[in-house]
Structure 1
Amino acid sequence: MQILHFDIKPHNILLDSNFTPKIADFGLAKLYPRDNSFVPVSAARGTIGYIAPEMISRNFGVVSCKSDVYSFGMLLLEMAGGRRNFEQHAARRSQTYYPAWVYSHISRKELGGICEASDIHEVERKLCIVGLWCIQMKPHDRPTMAEVIEMLEAGVDALQTPPEPFFCGFEQDSAADSFQFSTSELSAISELSVTDSTR
């Protein structure tokens, strides 16, 4: 059996006395056989800002363990920059949706502004690249958690910059061609992706 958590976010990662991370709050979790590639879920589960797109609309793909990978990617991006994935009071509108801002800087190789609190640019870059791979819109484009671990343990030079996640560019026309989205679905998912959690 595998555990699908459905609510990976900073609030649910606790540290023990040795600073070893522990995943908490399994209230939304489901047990499911490993040999099943997708999970039937009747209602969206998770926290807005971390919830995978397929949890909102099956037009993005099927719900699976890759849904937790998406949430983990958002967590990595927040760790890299020390800020929430959505900033209501960002200095510039382009910085409001943090993953889009990170992708823009990574693609231009401008690392200095990603995290103002430290000077560990190599670690920042690694967390950002892996995080961006994890938040790809199509579940099958995201790595498995085993692959995520391999990327995190690898050198940053071995990592390839991922394709631009859908919401970074808000390229609705090309995405609509690929997924046959309705306008209402695109609006709903876009709004959910840039809305911070109230929990």
Structure 2
Amino acid sequence: MRWIAGLGNPGTAYQGTRHNVGFMVIDELAKRWGINVTQSKCKALIGEGNVQGTKVFLIKPMTYMNLSGESVRSFLDYYKGEIADGVIVYDDLDTEIGKLRLRYQGSAGGHNGIKSLIQHLGTQTFDRVRMGISRPQPGKNIADYVLSPFPKSEQQQLAEMISAACDALEFRLKAPFEETMAKFNR
């Protein structure tokens, strides 16, 4: 069994915002793999399917970003899942727009969703795909920035980044994460 959790905020007000790039990746994987992410369970919307002979769960926590760990922990407890079988996908201010950074451990780096995951999983060691959203201009409020939509000028980079993330996550179904990092970190 493999699972992929994309972090974001529920509701139409947050659709298309920088903080919801994790949800965007889950939506694209669901489309690619023909999985409906509509089952409400474990404080999340969950979809289950079979991809390349592997049972896969796609997870969109509905707890809002700052409590994402509650949902992922609930999923792992309910399905008897292992942290090592999953990947977390989320936005990263410290990575340039359009770039991916795959890591298997690290601190929250100021990201409240990751802080919640570390708290509820009891470890900083879990596979993650950090989606670059760049930092705002100096003096601009970070909360306003991450909750704003991507401008037209970044739409092409966003689409390419989401596609690359999906390619990496598909590769990860059959390969170790270290090999996935070597192939997809740019």
Pairwise same-fold verdict (TM > 0.5): no
Query: TM-score w.r.t. structure 2 length?
Result: 0.30
Give the number of the structure whose alpha-carbon radius of gyration is greater: 1
User: Would you tell me which structure has more strand in proportion to its own residues?
Assistant: 2
Instruction: Compare relative contact order (CA 8 Å, sep 6+) and give the higher one, 1 or 2.
Output: 2
Query: TM-score w.r.t. structure 1 length?
Result: 0.28
